[in-house]
A = this chain, B = another copy of it.
Amino acid sequence: MREMKSIDGSGGLTGANELEAMDKLFDRLFPITRSIAGPGVRQTLAILGEQVPLDVFGVPTGTRVFDWEIPREWHIEEAWIRDEEGRTVVDFRNHNLHVINFSTAVDRVMTLEELKPHLHTIPHMPDAIPYVTSYYKERWGFCLSHRQLEQLRPGSYHVCIRSKHVPGELNFGQAVLPGESEEEVLISTYICHPSMANNELSGPITAAFLYNRLNKWEKRRFTYRFVWLPETIGSIAYLSMFGDELKRKLVAGLVLTCLGGEAGLHYKKSRRGNAPLDRLIEHLFAREIPGRTVPFTPTHGSDERQYNSPGFNLPVGQINRTLTPGFAGYHTSLDTKESMGIDKLLQSVNEIERILAAFEHDGFYINTQPFGEVKLDRHGLYPDMNSRMTARHSNNQLEDGRDQLKRILTILNYADGEHRLHEIADKCNSSVTNLVPLVNLLMEKGLLRGPYSEPRGLFD
């Protein structure tokens, strides 16, 4: 699938090695008790920092960030329920999800009836522990499988949650890969869900390996800014620090989430709907990479909702790889490594790298000899004899030559500063990726200038 060899000339981890490295990283990150603020985020960033040179930021508790305020940190030591016989019937040590994320502390004995309003289950999924959070309202509670709940007999129970909400900071990590231009591409993913696979770790792991791929490119047109942050409050805090800078610099962005599924890529466009990367991905999904696009919506999704809030309206989409249809484990203990595929993360890295590689070339070009056709043979680009036979009775190689010739003519004709390369590719009935070697050839010959990020006149 990866064919961007001209770009990725490095000798880094590939194939089986990358897969193995991903798998190990997954296993280290999975057990951590993440929440939106607290030690779990810091542990996660420390481990990611072994893969990627991270700058870790902290925003103090109580800081106002737009309409929000940075919460206290959540520290939790233990959380369990014991029955009258002293048997532990629910224990947070068995699964991070057994306690409401951000739960307040409790240490009481109560009847089952008193306890029940604090117990969360999913009756129609009797084996799943649900993922429940209560960040902004003080509340305590446990989550358990419905099967567990049904086994609880009437009687009195000792419930204990040893947790604290303490002033501290909200953390996120950033890694920037500089490019030739100050124009930036944002890659954002989140690190606040404990012990879930597709809807948590698939994003940060894909981002880390993608970083290493781009780091090996011989050159980068754009600067790439990778961020790992707690969802929602994290991206809002991030925007409060870097939003103005992003407004000036950002040309594209992707929120990475749920990238371990079986299906093809699924791209939710930016709010603008026609940002350069929105249009390129639509082109690539039609011609080269299996996938489909959907319009932006603010009603669900991830941090793209913040980046696309009307005050920012950044050109940031969201990309995911949907799970097998019918998989119901989202936001439960059933979202495990086994229910997705590490190999799918590798495929996501490959495909997103391919998209970004195409994006590097997908600007506006200028034909430096725009008056009349370029005399191709003078530049070593054309058969010197016009014969009907050449076209018709050629072997495959000659036919290929004819196709290349048509593509060259089309590139040169539309390299007028008003067409993006993927639009020229559409006129060639081709993927933009197929045009890149020809564009490079024409650049070498001095017949093209570009790519430019904005339309321009032929003589500007």
Chain A interface (Cβ < 8 Å from any Cβ of B): 65-68, 100, 120, 122-124, 130-137, 139, 232, 235-236, 239-240, 243, 271, 297-300, 305-306, 308-313, 330-332, 367, 369-375, 377-378, 384-389, 392-393, 405-406, 409-410, 412-416, 427, 458
Contact = CB atoms under 8 A, between A and B. Distances in A.
- Count of identical protomers in the assembly: 3
A416 B330 CA distance: 33
Given A372-B239, A393-B122, A410-B297, A137 B310 contact: no
Contacts of A243: 371
Contacts of A309: 370-373, 413
A136 B377 contact: yes
Contacts of A135: 386
Contact of A413 (B133, B236, B308, B458): B308
B306 A372 contact: yes
A140 to B, nearest CB: 12
Contact of A298 (B232, B330, B413): B413
A455 to B, nearest CB: 13
Contacts of A122: 388-389, 392-393
A124 B392 CA distance: 10
A371 B123 contact: no
The list of the 5 closest CB pairs from A to B, nearest first, reads: A311-B370, A298-B413, A137-B384, A310-B416, A311-B371
A458 B372 contact: no
11 contacts: A120-B387, A120-B389, A123-B393, A137-B377, A137-B385, A139-B385, A240-B371, A298-B373, A298-B413, A308-B413, A312-B370
Contacts of A68: 372, 375
A61 to B, nearest CB: 16
A406 B299 contact: yes
Given A310-B413, A416-B310, A236 B387 contact: no
Given A235-B372, A305-B413, 9 more contacts: A66-B372, A120-B389, A236-B372, A239-B371, A240-B372, A298-B409, A299-B410, A305-B409, A312-B371
